[in-house]
Amino acid sequence: MMIKINSIIFMIFLIVGLSNGFLRNNLYPSTAPANLFLQSIESKPLFLTPYIESGQLKEGRSLSKVVGLPDLQLESYSGFLTVNKTYDSNMFFWFFPALSGKTDVPVLLWLQGGPGGSSLFGLFVENGPIKVSVNGMPYMSDYTWNREFAVLYIDNPVGTGFSFTKDDRGYATNEVDVAENLYEALRQFFTLYYEYKGNPFFLTGESYAGKYVPAIGYKIHTMGEAAKKSGINLQGFAIGDGFSDPRHMFDYGDYLYQVGLVDEIQRDHFKQEQRLAIKYVENGQMKKAAEIFDRLLDGDFDKKSYFLNATGLNFYYNILYDRQPDDFNYYSKFLASAKTRESIHVGNLHYGDDSVLVEEHLINDMMASVSPWIEQLLDANYRLLFYSGQLDIIVAAPLTENFLKHLKWKGSNEYHSAQRSIYRVSPNDPSVAGYVRQAGNLYQVIIRNAGHILPYDQPKVALDMITRFVKNESF
């Protein structure tokens, strides 16, 4: 009887998941919702804000410690931070101190793209300390970014992953909303884990986080002394394949033609649609521009994009793949197990990776640019790294370069004349890792043999790259 009930529940989740579009494409790969394998547990989600507000920091920290994960000797902390009491909006985080055991180390925040992609994808698939095997068992990664740094993963925006809101008005509709919620989460985080206050702090992320990272960075910058008093010592940003400036990045026709994925007729169709979308952007008609982007390439709301029909490819994150790698989904079963959910303090909450609602609320943000914030952050001397996978399609390296060339900041002329250099992980390494172009505090890196999900394709190089950048070491 129990097996039959569980089978019925499984099918209900499957039907709901399909109707919500978890198999659709967007700026971030889709994964099977962990709820498909949900095992009910009695423990409830851990909300840490009451402990922070009442000064019960020791108790809150103790409760947030992650214990009981099989085969892992790994210190970590997780829970929920309430960022808007009016709408009951709560953000889930999972924090990993440095494996070295040191606390006087830089702190990195990782944000996934989407919009609606869970940062736990980055944790398990890209740069975190935990990998998951085909049978759902966790094991330690050889190239985790918390080898020398402390790394914080937050499901962002509200409604993504385990983060949730109980009011439709709690969803972000623009990057100001995103930044407000993230700033409140960070303020509480540094209060609870106070030994990291004042440490060098870096914002990192990929894809649509090319908007989130500058948004929260600009918010921290404008908060000035208040942010510093909260322990947020912002030093720089690292953005991978970031969709930061659609106006100057929406130029797929020539690129796809040059790499042989479309013919001249299909290229011209792309260019015609691109011109119309850019016209809409310039007129402030962001939703119409986003609709063109969707039917041309993204395919979130139109089930089959023009790109899919023209190329037959259902995966535009690496030019060498025609479908999503199977191991992108391995972590879903692990995340849904009763043991894992008890350990990371999420109870029976829904896990919404690639959330449709998040994207629907940000539809007018999709084609907006954050270039003005990036320009101000560069002029304020923060260090910015924009890295690209040579094999990416959705945010291809030439598109990023075109956006960077249009930035207006004090180092613009230096960037335009800067010569790029060859990047190797070690001087005697026969393999070329990529190419680097630097102008003052702006770094542009292109990594060879990597696509959109760069730390997945080239984990060793990605770790070396982020380590050099954070430590301010030369490439």
For the chain, domain boundaries: 48-252+316-471, 262-311
Q: What is the mean pLDDT of residues 88-97?
A: 99
Give backbone dihedrals phi and psi of 308, rounded to 5 degrees, phi first.
-65, -45
Cβ-count burial of 424 within 10 angstroms (0-12 exposed, 13-18 middle, 19+ buried)? middle
Share of the chain above pLDDT 70, in %: 91
pTM: 0.93
Out of 294, 353, 452, 464, the active site residue is 452
Of residues 349, 358, 446, 366, the one with CA closest to residue 399? 446
Does 404 score more than 90 pLDDT?
yes
Q: What is the pLDDT of residues 135-185, one digit of tens each?
A: 999 999 999 999 999 999 999 999 999 999 999 999 999 999 999 999 999
At residue 43, the pLDDT reads 84
**104 belongs to the catalytic site:** no
At residue 426, the pLDDT reads 94
**452 belongs to the catalytic site:** yes
**How far is 167 from 390, CA to CA, in rounded Å?**
41
**How far is 179 from 214, CA to CA, in rounded Å?**
9
Out of 354, 392, 457, 464, the active site residue is 392
> How big is the CA angle at 145 (ends 141 and 146), to the nearest 5 degrees?
90
Among the listed ranges 64-68, 116-120, 257-261, 355-359, which one has the minimum average pLDDT value?
355-359
Strands 77-84 and 150-154: unpaired
The two tokens of residue 53 are 């507000």
Does 7 score more than 70 pLDDT?
no
What's the count of helices (H) and strands (E) in the chain, helices before strands? 20, 13
Q: Which helix (H) or strand (E) holds 182?
A: helix 175-192
Q: What is the pLDDT of residues 201-251, one digit of tens each?
A: 999 999 999 999 999 999 999 999 999 999 999 999 999 999 999 999 999
> How big is the CA angle at 146 (ends 220 and 205), to the nearest 5 degrees?
45
At residue 411, the pLDDT reads 98
Does 1 score more than 50 pLDDT?
no
**How far is 90 from 181, CA to CA, in rounded Å?**
9
**Domain made up of 48-252+316-471: CATH architecture:** 3-Layer(aba) Sandwich (3.40)
Out of 118, 207, 337, 412, the active site residue is 207
Of residues 204, 152, 157, the one with CA closest to residue 176? 157
DSSP H helices, 160-230, are 175-192, 209-223, 225-229
> How big is the CA angle at 172 (ends 129 and 334), to the nearest 5 degrees?
30
**How far is 25 from 117, CA to CA, in rounded Å?**
11
**457 belongs to the catalytic site:** no
**How far is 393 from 29, CA to CA, in rounded Å?**
13
**How far is 167 from 187, CA to CA, in rounded Å?**
23
At residue 21, the pLDDT reads 38
